[in-house]
Chain A
Amino acid sequence: MAKATIKINRQYLKEIKEVCESFNYEKGQLINVLKKTQEKIGYLPAEVQMVIAEELKVPVAKVYGVVSFYSFFTMVPKGKYPISICLGTACYVRGAEGILQEVERQLGINPGETTPDGLFSLDCLRCIGACGLAPVIMIGEKVYPRVTPNKVKEILDEYRK
């Protein structure tokens, strides 16, 4: 396998190696290593996975297997304002699907994608535990309660300024 170090900038490379070291290069800590790395870099592109595979001495296929298995990990960079639409059952029965469709329409992207200007990324999640406020959407850490389709534009505009 070609050395994976070429495409990543040095700062990131150093950080990834530090993360691996902090977990003693234990193979069993792969998920924790990936979580920490994603916290630092924001996402886990193929190059990053190759470095981690090398450091922990596991096949890169296994790293990819884990990254693609868990919804928490992402291989594409998130937008400046990540939007999460709650599709838990409580939000669903109170109309979350309509909100998702309106956000998709407004931004022109599907869940898992980022707008070309890098401002928004869209994801769905299952229950944030605020069912009393259903349906909710989250932008960054902020929760918007009792959203209706016609409030969507107004909410997005707050971030477009």
Chain B
Amino acid sequence: MTHYRFHILCCGGTGCKASNSAGIVRKFEAVLKEKNINDVQVITTGCFGFCEKGPIVKILPDNTFYVQVKEDDVENIVNEHIIKGRKVERLLYTDPKSEGHVSDSKHMGFYKKQMRIALRNCGFINPEDIREYIAREGYAALGKVLTEMTPEAAIDEMTKSGLRGRGGAGFPTGLKWGFARKSVADQKYVVCNADEGDPGAFMDRSILEGDPHSVIEAMAICGYCIGATKGLVYIRAEYPLAIKRLQIAIDQAREYGLLGKDILGTGFEFDIELRYGAGAFVCGEETALIHSMEGQRGEPTVKPPFPAVKGYMGKPTNVNNVETFANVPVIYLKGADWFNKIGTEKSKGTKVFALAGKINNVGLIEVPMGTTLREIIYEIGGGIKGGKKFKAVQTGGPSGGCLTEKDLDTPVDYESLAAAKSIMGSGGMIVMDEDNCMVAIAKFYLDFTVDESCGKCTPCRVGNKRMNEILDKIIKGNGTMEDIELLKNLATVIQDTALCGLGQTAPNPVLSTLNNFYDEYVAHVKDKKCPAGQCKDLLSYVINPDKCMGCTACARKCPVAAITGTVKQPHKIDQAKCIKCGTCLDTCKFGAISKQ
């Protein structure tokens, strides 16, 4: 076997891929070949998490973390780092506080408070090579469970660990497995819910792209525990890279005898098939997901019967999401006692979040339960972009709520977030600043749920649509105070009467913004103003004649020729023509243009 002096890890996550990380890999390979260097291995890994500074290149064994690498930098890295052993300073991460270079990711603010369990292999191994997973104790948990534990004992261990469903609802995983175990049937199914539909969230996709084997291993363990021989992964057809890597992983696992008949010589049989989701948020709900896998419209049905009793093809089915599964192998390797020491009293372990929005360090993070929102936003996230003022953080996506300054010391766990009137959700965490209008945000989420409503029950199909229309009225400056009251009433009725989780939680973004930002709603209604300056119908761009130098820059950039004036004379915006795109505001160097 070749002994490698260096490993060059290049991020192959969706974000870095979009910034040409594949080109960087090819370039590294070409340069190394050209220079006849054979003891350096180039590996495409899953997501490192620090998407803001992508593409990321990490060099082992010295753990040097290069950010925003371009194809043109590759030769330089090889010449300096690989050949001469000197770090390329200009590509290192600059700490915003000390302004010094940080070379080891362990010392970066972004990583310091993180603890990676579900993401343990993301950004470390080549997801397309099973040997790398095995080298990181992969499939050892499956071996242990199959040879040393009875299914009952394995379920007990899972219950003791305190792991709860990471899809959002937080149902104890061990308990769920226990229910499926108790159901008697000739065939049972293990389903992995990889239908990540929350807009602005990419946790599950990153796990599947960066460490698909951990999910496969966990599904096999679950199969052993509940007595199932068949596993199905319900994955979005829109995730081509995740599908590709998962399929490669399944094929390799079969080849190594880790899937199929007589796994590890124990007589246990288990295999996995992929089923494609075709873009419907409601399919994240277990019953809807099962209908979709059966080739039907993904409409939910009333529970009970629960899937553990009557699920896919009428057989007992256990559904867990990707992140939940990714935690499973580690729990068996390190033990339930190790796992339940991490986190808070009722929420054990860690949680992965897709941290995004108006924040300096956008990325994929994993923190122990109980970490506060303040720590996440200011220490890991590096604070608000452009020195703007923090306004709100949204958790739980279209089913969640907005939390404000006063909630920043809330520890992140299922109970505390619920007490603060939001939810944990699947892990979307969007930060908003003073320029975001909260009425518009509520409308944004409601647009989404209206779009995604399956139409089966009236409260969701009709009720949410009416709410959306009222919000539209308010945003356009035609709302009344009665409308706000009506919104509240409708929201409560929908929460109480909709059939499934999607409908019941759809009013949450509206209610939570009404609670926290009532004044903003009133400003839209009474003053016909959008305090954040986002709602176009309520604002106009104006030029201050005292500050305008008549440089004509804005007039030249205006896409609809709404700005007129002669050179060196103050210009004017024709409000009838203006489409309020804001280009002039961004163009003006003299601060003469403002939003009113």
Contacts and interface: CB of A to CB of B under 8 A. Distances in A.
B278 A70 contact: yes
Interface stretch (B138-146, B160-168, B575-583): B575-583
B13 A32 contact: no
B319 to A, nearest CB: 17
Contacts of B294: 28
Interface string A62-86: 1001100111110000000000000
Nearest to A153: B559
Contact of B199 (A126, A130, A136): A126
B460 to A, nearest CB: 15
Interface string B191-232: 000000111111001100000000000000000000000000
A91 B357 CA distance: 7
Interface stretch (B14-22, B76-84, B151-159, B492-500): B14-22
A153 B583 CA distance: 13
Nearest to B584: A150
B172 interface: no
Contacts of B526: none
Interface in B253-310: 275-281, 292-298
A4 B277 CA distance: 27
- Chain A, interface SS category: helix
Contact of A35 (B278, B293, B362): B278
A149 B363 CA distance: 24
Which residue of B294, B297, B432, B445 has the most chain A CB atoms within 10 A of its CB atom? B297
Contact of A92 (B52, B354, B444, B454): B444
A69 B295 CA distance: 12
Interface string A108-152: 000000000000000001111111111010000001010011100
Contact of A127 (B200, B432, B557): B200
Nearest to A93: B357
A27 interface: yes
B397 interface: yes
Which residue of B277, B298, B354, B356 has the most chain A CB atoms within 10 A of its CB atom? B356
A93 B281 CA distance: 20
A98 to B, nearest CB: 6
Contacts of A5: none
A31 to B, nearest CB: 5
A105 interface: yes
Contacts of A134: 356, 362
Contact of A31 (B52, B295, B583): B295
Which residue of B237, B358, B397, B428 has the most chain A CB atoms within 10 A of its CB atom? B237
A93 B15 contact: no
Contacts of A127: 198-202
Contacts of B297: 65-66, 69
A87 interface: yes
Given A66-B295, A72-B237, A131-B51, A93 B13 contact: no
B18 A136 contact: yes
A60 B238 CA distance: 25
B394 interface: yes
A132 B397 contact: no
Contacts of A90: 200, 354, 356-357, 362, 430
Given A72-B238, A149-B583, A131 B354 contact: yes
Interface in A1-19: none
B448 interface: yes
B357 A130 contact: no
B383 interface: no
B329 interface: no
Given A31-B295, A98-B581, A102-B559, A130 B15 contact: yes
Nearest to A128: B14
Given A35-B237, A88-B199, A93-B432, A148 B19 contact: no
A133 B397 contact: no
Contacts of B363: 132
A101 B280 contact: no
Given A28-B295, A145-B18, A150-B557, A132 B581 contact: no
A102 B15 contact: no
Contacts, number: 145
Interface residues of B, number: 59
B480 interface: no
Nearest to A28: B295
Contacts of A35: 237, 276, 278
Contact of A94 (B13, B358, B582): B358
A130 B18 contact: yes
B436 interface: yes
A150 B431 CA distance: 25
Contact of A132 (B51, B313, B394): B51
A30 interface: yes
A25 B430 CA distance: 44
A29 to B, nearest CB: 6
B586 interface: yes
A105 B577 CA distance: 13
Contact of B296 (A66, A98, A148, A149): A66
Contacts of A34: 278
A67 to B, nearest CB: 9
Contact of A69 (B298, B362, B430, B579): B298
Interface string B552-593: 000001010000000000000000000101110010000000
B459 interface: no
Contacts of A149: 559, 581-583
A129 B295 contact: no
Contacts of B18: 128, 130, 133, 136, 143, 145
B178 interface: no
A29 B276 contact: no
Nearest to B583: A150
Interface string B378-398: 000000000000000010010
A80 to B, nearest CB: 20
Interface of B: 13-15, 18-19, 51-54, 197-202, 205-206, 237-238, 275-281, 292-298, 313, 354, 356-358, 362-363, 394, 397, 428, 430-432, 436, 441, 444-445, 448, 454, 557, 559, 579, 581-583, 586
20 contacts: A28-B295, A31-B278, A66-B297, A70-B277, A70-B280, A73-B278, A90-B356, A93-B357, A93-B430, A93-B432, A94-B357, A125-B238, A127-B198, A127-B200, A127-B202, A131-B356, A132-B54, A133-B54, A143-B19, A149-B582
Given A92-B444, A133-B18, 7 more contacts: A30-B295, A90-B430, A128-B18, A129-B14, A131-B15, A132-B15, A143-B18
